[in-house]
Structure 1
């Protein structure tokens, strides 16, 4: 006689709806699409199976829309077998690095705008923050950028100023 409670100790398979499975597949396909956007140096840092790496590189090579769509679907299928969490973690590291780079870039843009549109106190504040700056060269770049802005000319000197600010920040 079998008791209906004999299989209580057996773990039940978790039921997953078809909608949920499709959402997971689309998420994996989107992650695969992000992989296709990476360069070779970044791809080397992501833990990918050889077959998945080959599929990503093949997709990068393709130029036609329908072929790319099919290849992305194939990458999505391969992603089901891959360690998606490790891949996602590597992608998050790239994104964090990009955000830090963007924040640094925006800080330099704000400095440039303050120097061009501000008064001498902004230049003094910049020199205090970056004491290794060539003050004479910096003043000349700021004057040229201010002159261009007043004359409503293209901002060639402002670009040179930004380039110099970026060089100072990197050194």
Structure 2
């Protein structure tokens, strides 16, 4: 058995302390509450929206199960369980989607304006914009989009209320959610 000097212990402690990052209990609680809040919003989402997220199987099953829970206390407990499962999950894609769905966020507004620009380009620019749109959204029904654009252009020429432009925008939003 070798003797360790006091200087060796000090050097070892300094090296180890550099690697240790201390997190306060309050910070841990705030992080857990944030996960629970995101879990609550995920519980209220439609299954089609949940399909777009890269969720672990256990988390997805827990979210599906939460739809069947009616008791408030059981729902609260289940929310804690979902928060616990989310600790093992990469939450950045979830945060991004939730910010896109939150009408007060900058991300939502930016995305909404981008869709409005697509609508305006389709109505004003015609065929070049339509070609670019169909490249970006290949799942779009070509004939339906052309018909919506043609109706919106006709309305604009006749200075009627923009009902067809609204239909076009609604269709663009539906495509973007797919």
**TM-score, normalising length from structure 2?**
0.56
Q: Does 2:94 align with 1:73?
A: no
Q: Does 1:167 align with 2:167?
A: yes
Are 2:42 and 2:50, in contact at CA under 8 Å, matched by a contact in 1?
A: yes
Q: Return 5+ residue gaps in structure 2 as ranges.
A: 117-150, 173-178
- Residues 73-116 of structure 1: CA deviation (Å, up to 9, x unaligned): 110111112222333233334444577449979xxxxxxxxxxx
1:120-170: CA deviations, max 9, x gaps? xxxxxxxxxx9713369765xxxxxxxxxxxxxxxxxxxxx5644412556
Q: Which has the higher contact order (CA 8 A, sep 6+)?
A: 1
Moved over 6 A (4+): 102-105
> CA separation in 2, counterparts of 1:83 and 1:135?
46
| TM value normalised by structure 1 | 0.58
Question: Residues 58 and 99 from structure 1, CA distance in 2 versus in 1: closer, same or farther, beyond 3 angstroms?
Answer: farther
SS in structure 1 at match of 2:31: helix
> In the alignment, which residue of structure 2 is the partner of 1:35?
42
Deviation at 1:64, TM superposition (A): 2.3
Q: Which structure has the bigger radius of gyration? A: 1
d(CA) in 2 for partners of 1:52 and 1:88?
Answer: 15
Aligned-residue CA RMSD in angstroms? 3.3
- Aligned residues, how many? 127
Determine if contact 1:133/1:168 at 8 Å carries over to the other structure.
no
> For the structure 1 residues 102 and 36, does the alpha-carbon distance in structure 2 shift closer, same or farther, using more than 3 Å as the test?
farther
